[in-house]
Amino acid sequence: MFAGPIKPLLLALMTVLCARHSQAGNLAPSKLRCEHLETALAVESPHPILAWGLVANTSGQFQTAYQIRVASSRDKAAHDRFDLWDSGKVSDSRITQVAYTGKPVKPAQSVFWQVRVWDSANVPSEWSPLAHWKSAPNLSADGDAQWISASVPRPLHQDRQTLHLPPALQFRKTFEIANTIRRATLYLSALGDAAPSLNGKPASEQYFLPGWSDYRHRAYYRALDVTPHLQPGPNTLGITLADGWYSGYVGYGLLLGYGPHKGGRYLYGKDPAVLAQLVVEFENGNRKTVATDSTWRWNDEGPVREADLLMGEHFDARNARAWDTPSFDDSTWKKAVPAGTVPSVTAPFHDTTGQRTVDLGFKKPDTLQSYPSPPVRVVETLQPKHITEPSKGVYLFDFGTNFAGNVQLKVRGDRGQKIVLRYGEMLHPDGSLMTENLRKARATDTYICSGAPEGETWTPRFTYHGFQFVEVSGLRSKPSLDLLSGLVLQSDTPITAAFECSDPVINQLFRNIQRTQRSNFIDIPTDCPQRDERLGWLGDAQIYIRSATYHAEVFAFFTKWLSDLREAQRSTGAYPDYAPYPMAHGESGKPFSSGWMDAGVICPHTLWKVYGSTDVIDRQWPSMKRFMEFRESLSPDFKGVSVGNPWGDWLNQQDATPIEWIDAAYFAHSAQLMAEMAEATGRTDDAAHYRGVFEKVRTEFIRAVIGRDGTVSGASQTACVLALDFGLHPKGGASVIADQLVKLIEKNDFRMSTGFLGTRSLLPVLSKNGRHDIALRLFQSRQFPSWCYPVVNGATSVWERWDSFTKQAGFGRHNASMNSLSHYAFGAVSEWMFRDLAGINLAEPGFKKIRLVPAPPPKQPTSEVTATESPSAPPLNFVKASYDSPVGTIVSEWKREMDTLTFRFVVPPNVDADLLLPASDSNHVTVVKGGAALLKPNEGTPHYRLVPGEHVLRVDEKPTDPKQ
């Protein structure tokens, strides 16, 4: 083909390329992570978990070995002196869950590591670039950081009728830097919400530091790299301290009269406190520590006049000073005091446990814990779409989508001009802001202009709102769109999912679910971001967690919440309704509920399955065991019980399921998951025990619930769903219950009637039991109640109720006080979209092996449009899904054109995939690309093995001519 001088040239080039390839191998490590984070600056574990991704330049590549090396400094690494660890070549295909087992790492030590991998042909890659982690400091022993507070304690606000919104405190300290800095790390904890600044500039882009915990026992601290913020000579570290979850308004405390004096605030204590330690490492090897103590000065006359998570912020720019710069004169500021010296005060605390006296004074948290989750920060900026003027001088900015976060205000105003921002999720029919569903959350920010002639810019720092609309008043003239931009806040869990199909309403539904997850993964998984609730409800978390894992990398985020959950566990062993748990709600003395408390078992189980981490099991195990002991003590005869809060199948459509059945179903399910986790971690006796418990509860469930004909007696849709989902039926009895479920759906005019618990598994059990057609019909249904119903009624997020708002009835169907427009629970259908419709599933924990089972609608013999699709929806003739799994990106796509179904898959390097194709037999399948290997020919559903790389397969659906 090639002739003349080109040929030798080409050959030479190919030789060079091949040489480079063979030298570097066909696999390269990428995206190194430590403890599931890209930046881990306070790693507590002596054996942190390391992981990396793989990039392949040919298909079919597997990692046959790896080598990790670790140095105690960048210099040493640069000189090939890996003094902490050299794993040597380890013949192992693992790329996640690799524990560091090198020399012990000293506290607050920087560690530099890299990895290389061997490909299928046993050729090593180049070494990866260096990655970095830092071990946790020994904060109590190392340095003299003290908890400090303002020296003038605040009065205890006792009047429930008026809001109490004290100004934020400012703490400052000036210090000298005389040497060349190598690195500076600020360790910061607070009983409150702290924002650090250095030399007049914010020292971190993170919000709500240090994070929510039960502060009386445990507080998080953050490790912040502040190297770029320091300068030679004098420096000033400032900390603005607001009430946060510690002493500000939390949840529905004010609404329901919980907390000290029934006021809904001071749930953990009265006076915020802060603890900080700045460690500066110099090039000459010396260190300098600047720590909070009583040499710090404080003031409460700064610009932040109000700062409350629920109520909003008030910022008076006239008070802004360069207070956190060295030249500022703080001689009139007061001296900070050790927090323990602030006189304590007691108050009657009210909640459904009953009234008791609590001490609201400082209590040093028993534990300081490094924040294990990605921080909350701005992850996206949105521009408003349009402005209306519903009444004279009042402007409404519409961001076009419901989200959680803040705005940035850019204004040129007169000195003292007051601009008020109110937030809402929707408008009333007259175009005014709808705020009734916020209940007691005032959600109002106020900005007082300094009058700077060049204009001024501000964003609230100590609050967030759930909203689509912002009402602005106090402007002197009609604003333009650039007055505001929307700042989307979220615990920065990297997004891992993409989904598109031929039904635009479903595409919007997917975006809504994605958006609603963002809005509610803010430090903890909250139920909603807008009203006075924002609590980490367990039921919502357990039904949604599997969907969440498709949407984003949530391991570290949920690890944080599981700590909060363990801490919230009651002395009886029960997991309460939400975590953190600062106030008891519901049934007095029994603050738990079936299906909600089981999150304590379901969530670790899901994290283990998806991310392959058995550590998460080990960490939760003692707590889960206590919980199961509690569950077993509730039901010594293995029967379901009705005790605790009766949320049941919450928000079902007049189709309630007896609580005892729900309880038994979840008791059995928890026992089964415990058995699986016990097995995975070598707890053989426990495995046998929980398998026994499962069998006993299952037997009792069948006795109580399943009739002679194998159906669920007096069934609700949810009862059938739970029986199928958790295997609570006689052997071989699933099809009877599946038929029964389909009949119930048909009788209900093809509508679901399930609540939180049933909805999550409704489509999965239908698809699993041969009724994928019905699952698809419900999925695409536009009629009430359905996933698409809110979308066709204008939703840009997932609503608490299917009919939270309707075009015909507005908000009329529900009391707006219990009507969140950003509630992820019903978004739990993503799990089915990815796992059952696109067919991306795990075959082994951590996706080490994957299972591809794509499931297009069954082909109808006579028409292109399948008869089972929802009548008003377009045919579902293609789906494209991609998922950045823990082991790499998995793609599954299918497309139906006339009589042909085409499938495309991408399998990440190092992963084995099983593919089950929906075709009657392999004779109708053509392998177009990628060399899928057929396993078990002539045995029904074609079953292939796919190696890493791209694969295309075509299924011929042409009906065979009966006459032939």
Asked whether the beta carbons of 450 and 415 are under 8 A apart, the reply is yes
Beta-strand (E) ranges in 386-448? 386-391, 394-411, 418-424, 426-427, 433-434, 444-448
Give the x/- contact pattern for ligand BGC in 514-533, rule: CB under 6 A: -------------xx----x
Smallest gap from Cβ 574 to ligand BGC, in A, equals: 15
C-alpha dist (Å) from residue 596 to 52, 251, 543, 602, 757:
35, 18, 9, 10, 9
- Window 794-833: residues binding ligand BGC (CB under 6 A): 825
Alpha-carbon gap, residue 695 to 602, rounded angstroms: 18
Task: Tell the smallest beta-carbon distance from residue 647 to ligand BGC (Å).
Answer: 4
Secondary structure class of 459 (helix, strand, coil):
coil
Q: Is 539 in the site for ligand BGC (CB under 6 A)?
A: yes
Residue number, 368 or 651, with CB nearest to ligand BGC:
651
Across 753-829, where does the E strand assignment appear?
none
φ, ψ of residue 707 in degrees (nearest 5): -80, 180
Our CB check for ligand BGC shows the closer of 591 and 640 to be 591
Q: Which is nearer to ligand BGC, 264 or 909 (CB)?
A: 264
One-character DSSP codes across 681-714: TT-HHHHHHHHHHHHHHHHHHHHHHB-TTSSBTT
Helix (H) or strand (E) holding 675: helix 659-680
What is the nearest approach in angstroms of ligand BGC to the Cβ of residue 651?
8
* 214's tokens: 């039960």
Q: Which is nearer to ligand BGC, 61 or 652 (CB)?
A: 652
Instruction: Report the alpha-carbon distance of residue 128 to residue 701 in Å, rounded.
Output: 55
Pick from 647, 667, 787, 824: which binds ligand BGC (CB under 6 A)?
647
Residue placing its CB nearer to ligand BGC in the complex, 105 or 535: 535
Take residue 553 and report the two structure tokens written for it: 């990398």
Contact of 296 with 172, CB cutoff 8 Å: yes
State the nearest-atom distance from the C-beta of 223 to ligand BGC, in Å.
Answer: 33
Site string for ligand BGC, 862-901 (x = CB under 6 A): ----------------------------------------
In whole angstroms, how close is the CB of 720 to ligand BGC at the nearest point?
22
In this structure, are strands 49-56 and 27-34 parallel, antiparallel, or unpaired? antiparallel
Interior angle at CA 340, CA 337 and CA 346, nearest 5: 120
Nearer to ligand BGC, 503 or 532 (CB): 532
Task: Report, in Å, the least distance between residue 592 CB and ligand BGC.
Answer: 12
- Is the CB of 313 or the CB of 527 nearer to ligand BGC? 527
Nearest distance from residue 815's CB to ligand BGC, in Å?
12
DSSP state of 833: I
Closest separation in Å from C-beta 250 to ligand BGC: 14
Part of the chain binding ligand BGC (CB under 6 A), chosen from 229-237, 317-325, 352-360, 536-544: 536-544
- The answer to whether 156 and 335 have CB atoms below 8 angstroms apart is no
In the complex, the smallest distance separating the C-beta of residue 283 from ligand BGC, rounded to whole angstroms, is 53
CA–CA distance from 763 to each of 160, 361, 778 (Å)? 46, 51, 8
Nearest approach, Cβ of 540 to ligand BGC (angstroms)?
5
Contact between residue 577 and residue 600 where contact means Cβ atoms under 8 Å apart: no
Is residue 946 within 8 Å of residue 92, measured between CB atoms?
no
Minimum distance between the CB of residue 718 and ligand BGC, rounded to whole angstroms? 15
Nearest to ligand BGC of 578, 611 (CB atom): 578
Return the number of the residue (63 or 593) whose C-beta is nearest ligand BGC: 593
CB of 582 to ligand BGC, least distance (A): 16
With CB under 6 A as the contact rule, which of the stretches 340-348, 387-395, 535-543, 617-625 interacts with ligand BGC?
Answer: 535-543
Instruction: Confirm or reject binding of residue 540 to ligand BGC (CB under 6 A).
Output: yes
For ligand BGC, which residue of 113, 362, 458, 537 counts as binding (CB under 6 A)?
537
Q: Does 666 bind ligand BGC (CB under 6 A)?
A: no
- DSSP letter for 366, please: S
Identify whether the C-beta of residue 449 lies closer than 8 Å to the C-beta of residue 419: yes
561/464 Cα distance (integer angstroms): 20
Does 650 bind ligand BGC (CB under 6 A)? Our answer is yes
Burial class (CB in 10 A: 0-12, 13-18, 19+), 379: middle
Tell me: does residue 169 bind ligand BGC (CB under 6 A).
Answer: no
Residue 323 or residue 544: which is nearer to ligand BGC going by CB?
544
Nearer to ligand BGC, 528 or 579 (CB): 528
Alpha-carbon span 912 to 843, nearest angstrom: 9
Q: Number of H helices and number of E strands within the chain?
A: 17, 49
How far apart are CB 645 and ligand BGC at their closest, in Å? 7
Q: Is 173 exposed, middle or buried (0-12, 13-18, 19+ CB in 10 A)?
A: buried
Interface of this chain with ligand BGC, residues 15 to 34, rule: CB under 6 A: none
- 258 touches ligand BGC by CB under 6 A: no
Supply the minimum distance, in Å, between the C-beta of residue 814 and ligand BGC.
13
Residue 207 per-residue DSSP state: B
Note whether 649 binds ligand BGC by CB under 6 A: no
Cβ 185 vs Cβ 133: under 8 Å: no
Q: Work out how close the CB of 481 gets to ligand BGC at its nearest, in angstroms, rounded to a whole number.
A: 33
How many residues belong to the site for ligand BGC (CB under 6 A)?
9
Nearer to ligand BGC, 533 or 773 (CB): 533
Nearer to ligand BGC, 143 or 539 (CB): 539
Interacting span for ligand BGC (CB under 6 A) from 35-43, 88-96, 537-545, 877-885: 537-545
Q: Which is nearer to ligand BGC, 550 or 826 (CB)?
A: 826
Q: Which residues sit at the interface with ligand BGC, rule CB under 6 A?
A: 527-528, 533, 537, 539-540, 647, 650, 825
